[in-house]
Structure 1
Amino acid sequence: MKRLCLLLVLCLGWPLAAQAQQTAEKSDTYQVHTGDEWVDAQLQDINHYAERFPDSFLDEVERYAGVSRGYIAALMYTHGWHAGDIYFACFWGKVTEHSCRDSVRAFSRHVPEEGGFVQWSDVVNDDLGTEPTNLHWRALRHAIVASHDHWDRPVELDATLKRQLGDREQRDKRARAAAAAAER
């Protein structure tokens, strides 16, 4: 009887879980407009990464944005949020000294023009109560590069990021030196 109940729960719940997961089809239709084309392209890539490696994506956001894994997983699996939007909401919250929940609420409250969709550029400029600065965008861009490095994914840096962060070999060398210094 217990097995029958378990089987029934799995059969009924599986289609719902499958609908909410990050899929290739869902990623292909994903549109993001933060106001920064480089960030938009990276969020698209993060979306595709999360469809193949959802646990690594959740680990990254939990560890480096400081957001509960349960909350992030609920956004992705229960509420059907795109991984790129989750990443942006949580890391934007971090760099602007808001919570991820503040960003999620602002995005959810924002009403797009008829026939349109919610754009992060409108949310960050109008709904979060913090005027975005170059320092916020720089911190977000650095976080995106760090995430790609953690995932061992290639990331194309623009000239400014190359000047600020160096190439992958230079970033890895600095990370090893920092880890060695922390062990002392």
Structure 2
Amino acid sequence: MNWRALVCAASLLAVQAMPAMAQQAAPPSTPAYAPDTGDAWIDARLRDLGAYAPRYPDAFVDEIARYLDAPRAYVVALGQQPNWAPGDVYYACALAKALAQPCRTVVRARTQDDSDGWQGVAQRLTGKGKPIPYRSVRTLLRTSYAHWARPLD
């Protein structure tokens, strides 16, 4: 076997091994954020907040503090907690506003039992047989997006 054939064979083996090496080297992926509010439109906006909030943290926190009536320091601290994505922070305070409750009440309810997602938390807070205030939360999200000059779709 001449040196060209040897180099060609080695190159071919290396190329064939690349996909397997890439699969082994890939870091484990984190599961996608799924708010599970029971409303697909709200869920999509809450996922989008995961991109917006890290890029504009002050605007995000200020919006919640000013328009959703949550103490700024509380919003900042909540955003630093494990398992609290930006969408979760926003939804907790928006749901609280829609229910005329403090944000802390909603946060406590989720902390105590989030086994059935935000939809279950909201249903327990609104009461059995009563509708979850999706329309109010959508209005709050639309208003926030307008304040941020961020497109909804």
Structure 2 length-normalised TM: 0.74
Structure 1 residue 75 corresponds to structure 2 residue 78 = yes
Structure 2 equivalent of residue 90 of structure 1: 93
Question: Number of residues paired by the alignment?
Answer: 124
State the shift of 1:32 in Å: 1.0
Structure 1 residue 42 corresponds to structure 2 residue 45 = yes
Q: How does 1:1-184 map to 2 (within 5 A)?
A: 29-79=32-82, 81-110=84-113, 112=115, 119-126=117-124, 128-130=125-127, 132-133=130-131, 136-156=133-153
- 2:46, 2:146 → 1: CA distance? 15
Contact persistence 1:67–1:90 (CA under 8 A): yes
- 2:92, 2:32 → 1: CA distance? 19
Which entry has the higher C-alpha Rg, 1 or 2? Answer: 2
* Long gaps (5+) in structure 1: 1-24, 113-117, 157-184
Give the residue type in structure 1 aligned to 2:65: E
CA 1:43–1:111 in structure 2 vs 1: closer, same or farther (change >3 Å)? Answer: closer
- 1:73, 1:96 → 2: CA distance? 22
Report which structure shows greater RCO (CA 8 Å, sep ≥6): 2
Give the residue type in structure 2 aligned to 1:119: G
Structure 1 length-normalised TM: 0.62
Helix, strand or coil for the counterpart of 2:137? helix
Give the residue type in structure 1 aligned to 2:118: W
Contact persistence 2:46–2:91 (CA under 8 A): yes
